[in-house]
Structure 1
Amino acid sequence: MSDGVSRPVRENREPRWSRFDTQWYLLRYPEVRDWMREEGQEDPYAFYLQTGQRYGHSPNRYFDEMWYRDAHKDVRQGLIREDWASGFEHYMATGYKTHSPHWLFDEPGYRRRYPELTQRFFNENGFRNGYDHYLETGESHYYRGHHFFDEELCRELSLTFPDHFDSRIGLFSSWLGLPAHVADAGRVSWYFDPVWYLTRYPEVRQEIAAGQYSSALHHYLTNETPRLFDPQEFFSEQYYAQSSPDMVPSLENGYFRNGYDHFVRYGAQEGRIPQEGVDLAAHLAQTQVRNDVRNRLYDSAFAHLVAGRTGLGEGRMAALASVSELPEEHSRILFEREAEAILPSLVRHPLDFTVHGIPEVSVLMVVYDRIALTAQALASLRANYAGAIQLVLVDSGSHDQTRHIGRMVRGATILRYRHNIGYLQGCNLALEKAEAPFVLYLNNDVRLYPDAIVHALARLRSDAGIGAVGGKLIRTNMHLQEAGSIIWRDGATYGYLREDDPNLTTANFVRDVDYCSAAFLMVRTALLRRLGGYDTRYMPAYFEDADLCVRIIRAGMRIVYDPGVAIEHLEFGSSGAAGSHALIQGNLKTFARLQQDFLRYQQPAHIRNAVLGREHRISQRKRILFIEDRLPLRRLGSGYVRSNDIIREMTALGYQVTVFPIMRRDQTAIDLFGDFPETVELIVDQDLSDFADFLQERVGYYDLLWIGRTHNMARLLPLLNESNRYLPAAGPVLDTEVIATPRTLERIRVLGLPEADISLDDMLHQELDCARFCQRIVAVTAHDADLVRRAGYDHVSVLGHELFSQPTPAPFEARHNILFFGAIHDEGSPNHDSLIWFVEDVLPLLDQMLPPEIHFTIAGYVGPDVDMTVFSGNSRVEIMGPVGDPRELFDRHRVFVAPTRFAGGIPFKVHEAASYGLPQVVTTLLREEVGWADGMEVLAAPANDPVAFANAVERLYQDRELWENLRQGALGAIERDCSPVRFRQQLSDIIKTCIA
């Protein structure tokens, strides 16, 4: 039975940590029963208040009194001054807001890890703090309260000792009450090994037996000499201090409990070496490791490494590894067994290919036995596309149940032959029956991935110059067969990226190619008939599709590889590999003889020429290598949106763009393939360290090098000097994105930092020193362009932002609350600084002006190292983090604020808010940067006057007429200043001056 002492958070509910637990108290302190008898006391809670607090007793399992006193200096001082009877009294009164109550729960860390847990969220949902949230709902929803407690590992321990765990209170609460022999029987964290620890330090076992500590983990996290103990075999305090001397001063100054504290919080993410012989950076470089960490199977590469080396995590990793390591002979068997499994259903429920009117596509399929494969391919075809498909089946002398295929398929044209006439002749005979404007050559040993037909038809219809479309062929073992194919100079062919991962970004961009295999090849019917179908000199099969594609190209038409057309292929499933290879060798000679005029211009057969050969040589598209800090995803905000727009417009102008990020970052498939045009090649598995090799591999490939951000130009300059022979002769374009010197000087002034002993001109020359290598410099504003000229460079162009006006429809009365939407990449950045100023200096003033229900929303990308708890403690603040489509966000808010105190370039967030029709209050600095009029397009106030800024926010929030006027004025300014048409023309002019 438990008694509670607390102010209720909401009716009939108290935080678990606030309750006095009688049963636990008497078990934890057995001597209390004797003391109570001596004092004539019968109520344990009363005894705790009168006596137990003075002895440092804890009131329940969730609060550790002695640790709390030792961990928090302000608490110790308050107890000395007798401000509090105990640490628990302090925690109940005020400490719960900021202090961690227990050595196994990190309150500040919890709120940093989950920034959506703002004070406003707690107030609205009846939680007192993060610990309350964790104990009530967080643990059950896989929130992590401490690095040293992993619920999944604890669950494994509970299976060994089920009698010691109570499902009513959860794993964490149960573990806090475990006897030492159970708690120390196994890991509850990849960061600590209790079995190894007690073996290494047998004296700890004695201290636990004496009641000084409740478990090995308790000892490690609370002992008075933390730098003398290693937590497990894969970390050495001594070695870490030697290999990471830069962190030692922080350790000596008490910022970290020990070296392991630093390593767990920072070093593991940085790839530092935890123990001699443990190469964490190499482990982190593995794609599977990064994916497992990103997908939160492990919270760091170190945890992943420990799991693998101990063997305890093999179950998690084996499930992922087993799929990619499935031998192809096994996957082929599985493919065919799955085909056989659908036969009964098709006999009972035949596929309907009946066409009324003119079909959209004529599918030509030649079959010889293998009824199950054919049935599976046809079922996949019918399920893939609901439109009008004319199916022409050629039964080339089958001896199995294929003779009865008509019982499984209705509405098909079936051509039967008593002997095997071969694939090529069968296709030509089927072509005579084709009635649709497009013909699809389709093997009977394939399965179509979703919307393959839709994508292929759309691609052909998009451009009359496209003669044929092929797709991404994936073998049954989930390795690529081809991502478009190359025809070498000797006539041999190569499936680009064969054996690689189908999800590689280099396999997933649209391009013109030499040919695509006819396992799936969609061609214009009129073109096919004009060319006479397949050349009969290749009978019975092989190289007929390569020859057809060459003839299509020679007819002035394009062959396009579209990765959206994805097909699983049982390679050689319809013919048998042994006989196929013999036919291939014979027809290779025929192909090389017949197409020698075409072949002499092809790349020589060498894998190093694959990048040059993967696109058909006749393509006249110029190629641009675009370099940025990281892949410029739109959700990252800041200058990345502009970079993304530049890439989109380059593509629209007809250029082939490759994006190379200087810093490697793991990205999701949604980021990679949803944020860029389909013809853009993204490089995600290389970074600055690979750049020289990348250039050498692609010598002569690019016509222009576009480098985003001046600091990237400076970093690349030594490499560019060394590798100049591999680069376009005219030199790169430097897109400055922002001239940082004025921002740096303004930051020094605003923050009162020591003034730099250097002039504006000297700083400009230093910042732009690397620009001497460039043929053109791009500035984002005319003001920045003037600064570039001031630094001595006249070859400068201006390229701003592009935005469409897309005002959200909600009227003034339907909107509520204040919005900030922008990226916070680093602490101390302009956006981060502006929010600190607004939350600390402006919001308190608004408390006197606006009702308490009006809240301030912070939305946008937040860097992984940014601590948002500096904002979340304010009861008006709601933190949303990144959002996909911000339109709904702008539609429901009434006022946008941009309280920037120092910045440079163009404030994209101001333009973006204006494009959505959301009136805003900005600092005078930003108003001057955009060049808009105060009271006409924005309201502006000085960044050093929080009263004026608060008054402007209150005025705009309450004044509908002002709100409407600013909305219309800003929308007009966007159409004037951010015209996409003008942006594209300016970009086109810049590129044309740089590419001869």
Structure 2
Amino acid sequence: MSEAVSAPLSERREPRWSRFDTQWYLLRYPEVRDWMREEGQDDPYTFYLQTGQRYGHSPNRYFDEIWYRDAHKDVRQGLIREEWASGFEHYTAIGYKTHSPHWLFDEPGYRRRYPELTQRFLNEHRFSNGYDHYLEIGESHYYRGHHFFDDELCRELSLIFPDCFDSRIGLFASWLGLPAHVADAGRVSWYFDPVWYLTRYPEVRKEIAAGHYSSALHHYLTNETSRLFDPQEFFSEEFYRQAYPDMAPSLEHGYFRNGYDHFVRYGAQEGRAPQENMDLAAHMAQAQVRNDVRNRLYDSAFAHFVAGRTGLGEKRMAALAAVAEIPEEQSRLLFEREAEAILPSLVRHPLDFTVHGVPEISVLMVVYDRVALTAQALASLRANYAGAIQLILVDSGSHDQTRHIGRMVRGATILRYRYNIGYLLGCNLALEKAEAPFVLYLNNDIRLYPDAIVNALKRLRSEAAIGAVGGKLVRTNMRLQEAGSIIWRDGATYGYLREDDPNLTTANFVRDVDYCSAAFLMVRTTLLRRLGGYDPRYTPAYFEDADLCVRIVKAGMRIVYDPNVVIEHLEFGSSGAAGSHALIQGNLKTFSRLQQDFLRHQQPAHIRNAVLAREHRVSQHKRILFIEDRLPLRRLGSGYVRSNDIINEMTALGYQVTVFPVLPRDQTVIDLFGDFPETVELIVDRDLSSFSDFIQERVGYYDLVWIGRTHNLVRLLPLLNESSRYLPSAGPILDTEVIATPRTLERIRVLDLPEPDISFDEMLQQELDCARFCQQIVAVTSHDADLVRRAGYQNVSVLGHELQIQPTPAPFETRHSILFFGAIHDEGAPNHDSLVWFVDRVLPILDGVLPPDVHFTIAGYVGPDVDMTVFSANSRVEIVGPVGDPRELFDRHRVFVAPTRFAGGIPFKVHEAASYGLPQVVTTLLQEEVGWTDGAEILAAPANDPEAFAAAVERLYQDAELWKTLRAGALAAVERDCSPVHFRQALSGIVQGCIE
């Protein structure tokens, strides 16, 4: 029976690690029974308190007394001074707040890895510390407590030794109690191999057998000569320490236990080599590796590498590959079997296509046998769109159960023919019956993905100049058939990106194309009738859809590819490939002869011309290459929101935009396609290293290059010079985003760093030296524009921010707490520095004047290398991280703070908070940058006066009238300073001046 070792911790519930476990104690220390008899004791808990502690006994499996004493110098000194009876007494009294209790749980690392576990969060949920959270719910929610314990690998071990694991206490607790021969039978981490370790160091087996260590991992993590042992075959302690002498001081001062400790915590992420002739940086550069790490299949590229070299890793990767690649012959068979499976239900419950009044769309489908495929296509059609569909079925001499299709479909117009009249003639006869304003040519070997028809109709109705809309055709093996199609100069056709992944960003932007296959092609009925439908010279089929699209273009209308219209297609499912190829070759000659005047303007047939040919430039859109650090997602803040706005406005102005990131960053599908207009092309598989190849592939493609941020121009300048013959001759536009020189000097002053040995003007000229290659320079404020002129450039324009005011409705009385909303990309960056200053210097002052339930919320993007534990230890701090829609945050908070001590440009977060109607306290630096009046639109205090800043926060938090005054004033200021109309006009003037 378990007993509590110490009193409850601040009224929290009793953590697992605080209990004395009698059964475990007696099993762990069998000699205790004899000692108790000798001392006349009958209570193990009393014996532990009186005797066991002195001998270094642990009270339960979750705490290691000996390791705790050795690992924490302050504990060891306290024991020497007899301030504590044991390390465990220290831990339960004060150590639990900061110290790791066990060699297999890292308390600081756990809190750092999961910044949402703030002290406030733990208090509210009655957790004593991170270890308490991990043992109770963290492990079951796949949180990781230590680099050397991976629950997925441990689960593999539990399948081999099921009797040794207890599901009631979990994998971690079970592993801690395993006998050595089980614990050492396999990995529980990609960072340590017990089998290899014991083979390499047989003397360790003797130490374990003698009872000095419980397992090989226990030995590696706790032995006194840690630098003499390698943890596995893929790491050399000797090589690492010799290869990276920069870490020697840290090792000598005890910041790291050995070289491997440094490597696991930092070196693996930095791409340092773990052993000779291993290029970890190259492994990290592989897209699949980055994706697997980002998706948390592995916590580092090194773990990924190790997994690839072991049986377990190969097993996992093989399973993933099996899911990713499906042989097409199998997927086609599955498609047809699934079609057959729905036939009985359609006989019992026919599909209803009855139309009352005028239909919205007329669907033309020609069928020849293959009744199961037809039934599946019709079921998909009906499920896809609930509106009025006029279904016109042409039974072209079927010999199977298609003659009974009327039993599965009600309300359809069925045209029956005794012989196979062919696809083309069947469609033209069906067209005569069409009553809707739009006609959809639809194959019977397809399945429609959600909202395919809704999206096609929306696109077709969006502009009168659009004559037809096609979609993204995906074959049954989930590879592309086409993302729009190209017609080459010789008349041959090519499905753009055929065989590629349907989720490629290059397959997922809207554009005008030469043609789209009529497996799914939606066309205006009046246009079709004016053109006479399909040209009968292509009877019985093939090239009739390409010819129709060419005639639509010649009529002055557009063919639009819409990737939101997704269709799964059993290619050649309704005709058979062998006969199809013969027809294709014959009709290619017909098409080439009839459309010579169109074809002579097309690109020559070559795969390298596909990018140039993928878009039919009937509308003569100008193309802009937009270059940024990374794809400018709005959640990233820090100037990326403004870049995102520029891209949106360029699109609205009619430009075709490609976004190219200089730095390699992996993004999720949700990130990529939710933040940009659907006509924007996003480049995700290229970066600075492949920029020259990218430009060469697109020679003559772009009319203008827009480069965001001066440092990107510096990086690109040698490549731009080298590739100038492939780019617009007038030179790029440089969007400075911020003039960094004033910010740099202010940072030096604030942090009392060494003064630079050059003047302000020399720094400014160095920063903008690259700008002489640009036809135009863009500054974000008039002040920055003056600095550009001061550096000697007159070709400068101003483009600020755009924002719509959207004040949140909650009144002063119902709001609560203080908010900071901004991106923290790096430690030491302006936002990070401002939060350190606010939490360390301002919050302690507010503790004395604001109620204890007032908390400070930190929200916004946090870079993966930023340690948020410097904030999370404060009981007032709540860390939210990135949020999709911040309206709820701004609606429930009462005061916004921007305690920035050094910055440049326009502080977007100040404008954003004002646009949501949240009054704010900022530093005088930011007040001067926005140019607002203290007390009318904003409250300001010096960045070197925490008392004044705290006083301003207190005043605004408690004064309802002041709050209302600032809210109204700031909303008016945003409406004046951040007008979207003015923003678009300014941008239009800049681009037109450079592109015309």
Tell me, in whole angstroms, the C-alpha distance in 2 between the residues paired with 1:141 and 1:917: 37
Q: Greater shift after overlay, 253-262 or 865-874?
A: 253-262
Tell me whether 1:391 sits opposite 2:403 in the alignment.
no
Seen in structure 2, the aligned counterparts of structure 1 residues 716 and 59 have a Cα distance that, compared at 3 Å, is: same
Amino acid at match of 1:64: D
Tell me, in whole angstroms, the C-alpha distance in 1 between the residues paired with 2:292 and 2:407: 48
| Matching residue of 1:544 | 544
Aligned counterparts, 1:392-411, within 5 A: 392-411=392-411
Amino acid at match of 1:804: Q
Tell me, in whole angstroms, the C-alpha distance in 2 between the residues paired with 1:241 and 1:446: 61
Tell me, in whole angstroms, the C-alpha distance in 2 between the residues paired with 1:750 and 1:556: 63
Secondary structure of the 1:54 match is helix
| Matching residue of 1:63 | 63
| Matching residue of 2:140 | 140
Amino acid at match of 1:92: T
| Matching residue of 2:605 | 605
Secondary structure of the 2:729 match is coil
Count of aligned pairs: 996
| Matching residue of 1:235 | 235
Secondary structure of the 2:362 match is strand
Deviation of 1:722 (Å): 1.0
| Matching residue of 1:724 | 724
Provide structure 2 residue ranges, at least 5 long, that are not aligned to the other structure. none
Secondary structure of the 1:565 match is strand
**Aligned CA-pair RMSD:** 1.5
Deviation of 1:140 (Å): 1.3
Tell me whether 1:889 sits opposite 2:873 in the alignment.
no
Deviation of 1:653 (Å): 0.4
Deviation digits for residues 372-413 of structure 1, max 9, x if unmatched? 111111110000000011111111111111111111111111
Tell me, in whole angstroms, the C-alpha distance in 2 between the residues paired with 1:988 and 1:746: 34
Tell me, in whole angstroms, the C-alpha distance in 2 between the residues paired with 1:638 and 1:971: 21
| Matching residue of 1:672 | 672
Tell me, in whole angstroms, the C-alpha distance in 1 between the residues paired with 2:949 and 2:13: 40
Tell me, in whole angstroms, the C-alpha distance in 1 between the residues paired with 2:753 and 2:286: 42
Deviation digits for residues 2-41 of structure 1, max 9, x if unmatched? 2222221476831121222233233323333444444444
If the length of structure 2 is used for normalisation, what is the TM-score? Answer: 0.98
Amino acid at match of 2:800: G
Asked if 1 retains the 8 angstrom alpha-carbon contact of 2:12 and 2:127, the reply is no
| Matching residue of 1:334 | 334
Q: Greater shift after overlay, 160-169 or 968-977?
A: 160-169
Deviation digits for residues 824-850 of structure 1, max 9, x if unmatched? 000001111111111111111111111
Aligned counterparts, 1:923-942, within 5 A: 923-942=923-942
Amino acid at match of 1:748: I
Tell me, in whole angstroms, the C-alpha distance in 2 between the residues paired with 1:713 and 1:140: 48
Asked if 2 retains the 8 angstrom alpha-carbon contact of 1:602 and 1:617, the reply is no
Tell me whether 1:946 sits opposite 2:939 in the alignment.
no
Asked if 2 retains the 8 angstrom alpha-carbon contact of 1:19 and 1:59, the reply is yes
Seen in structure 2, the aligned counterparts of structure 1 residues 458 and 12 have a Cα distance that, compared at 3 Å, is: closer
Amino acid at match of 2:238: Q
Tell me, in whole angstroms, the C-alpha distance in 2 between the residues paired with 1:324 and 1:297: 15
Deviation of 1:687 (Å): 0.8
| Matching residue of 2:909 | 909
Tell me, in whole angstroms, the C-alpha distance in 1 between the residues paired with 2:800 and 2:894: 27
Tell me, in whole angstroms, the C-alpha distance in 1 between the residues paired with 2:247 and 2:955: 49
| Matching residue of 1:797 | 797
Secondary structure of the 1:933 match is coil
Tell me whether 1:583 sits opposite 2:544 in the alignment.
no
Deviation digits for residues 657-706 of structure 1, max 9, x if unmatched? 00000111111111011110000000001111000100100010001111
Asked if 2 retains the 8 angstrom alpha-carbon contact of 1:935 and 1:966, the reply is yes
Deviation of 1:193 (Å): 1.1
Amino acid at match of 1:540: P
Amino acid at match of 1:454: V
Q: Greater shift after overlay, 315-324 or 847-856?
A: 315-324
| Matching residue of 1:777 | 777
| Matching residue of 1:494 | 494
Asked if 2 retains the 8 angstrom alpha-carbon contact of 1:456 and 1:565, the reply is yes
Asked if 2 retains the 8 angstrom alpha-carbon contact of 1:817 and 1:894, the reply is yes
Aligned counterparts, 1:184-223, within 5 A: 184-223=184-223
Asked if 1 retains the 8 angstrom alpha-carbon contact of 2:775 and 2:994, the reply is yes
Secondary structure of the 1:450 match is coil
Amino acid at match of 2:659: V
Deviation digits for residues 795-843 of structure 1, max 9, x if unmatched? 1111100000000011111111111100000000111111111111111
Tell me, in whole angstroms, the C-alpha distance in 1 between the residues paired with 2:244 and 2:482: 46
Deviation of 1:326 (Å): 1.4
Amino acid at match of 2:674: G
Q: Greater shift after overlay, 242-251 or 510-519?
A: 242-251
Tell me, in whole angstroms, the C-alpha distance in 1 between the residues paired with 2:747 and 2:786: 21
Tell me, in whole angstroms, the C-alpha distance in 2 between the residues paired with 1:272 and 1:398: 67
Tell me, in whole angstroms, the C-alpha distance in 2 between the residues paired with 1:524 and 1:508: 24
Deviation of 1:793 (Å): 1.0
Deviation of 1:283 (Å): 3.7
Deviation digits for residues 110-166 of structure 1, max 9, x if unmatched? 001111111111111111100111111111111110011111222222222233222
Secondary structure of the 1:970 match is helix
Tell me, in whole angstroms, the C-alpha distance in 2 between the residues paired with 1:97 and 1:770: 51
Tell me, in whole angstroms, the C-alpha distance in 2 between the residues paired with 1:506 and 1:439: 28
| Matching residue of 1:54 | 54
Deviation digits for residues 97-122 of structure 1, max 9, x if unmatched? 11111110000000011111111111
Aligned counterparts, 1:483-882, within 5 A: 483-882=483-882
Asked if 1 retains the 8 angstrom alpha-carbon contact of 2:558 and 2:618, the reply is no
Seen in structure 2, the aligned counterparts of structure 1 residues 600 and 253 have a Cα distance that, compared at 3 Å, is: farther
Deviation of 1:243 (Å): 4.4
Asked if 2 retains the 8 angstrom alpha-carbon contact of 1:6 and 1:14, the reply is no
| Matching residue of 2:14 | 14
Amino acid at match of 2:68: Y
Deviation of 1:473 (Å): 0.4
Asked if 1 retains the 8 angstrom alpha-carbon contact of 2:198 and 2:204, the reply is yes
Secondary structure of the 1:447 match is strand
Asked if 1 retains the 8 angstrom alpha-carbon contact of 2:3 and 2:21, the reply is yes
Tell me, in whole angstroms, the C-alpha distance in 1 between the residues paired with 2:994 and 2:73: 63
Q: Greater shift after overlay, 778-787 or 300-309?
A: 300-309
Deviation of 1:252 (Å): 4.0
Tell me, in whole angstroms, the C-alpha distance in 2 between the residues paired with 1:440 and 1:66: 76
Asked if 2 retains the 8 angstrom alpha-carbon contact of 1:9 and 1:127, the reply is no
Amino acid at match of 2:537: R
Secondary structure of the 1:53 match is helix
Seen in structure 2, the aligned counterparts of structure 1 residues 937 and 198 have a Cα distance that, compared at 3 Å, is: same
Asked if 1 retains the 8 angstrom alpha-carbon contact of 2:713 and 2:770, the reply is yes
Q: Greater shift after overlay, 480-489 or 758-767?
A: 758-767
Secondary structure of the 1:156 match is helix
Deviation digits for residues 768-811 of structure 1, max 9, x if unmatched? 11111111111111111111111111111111000000000111
Between the aligned residues of both structures, percent identity stands at 87
Tell me, in whole angstroms, the C-alpha distance in 2 between the residues paired with 1:258 and 1:573: 63
Secondary structure of the 1:922 match is strand
Deviation of 1:315 (Å): 4.2
Tell me, in whole angstroms, the C-alpha distance in 1 between the residues paired with 2:457 and 2:974: 37
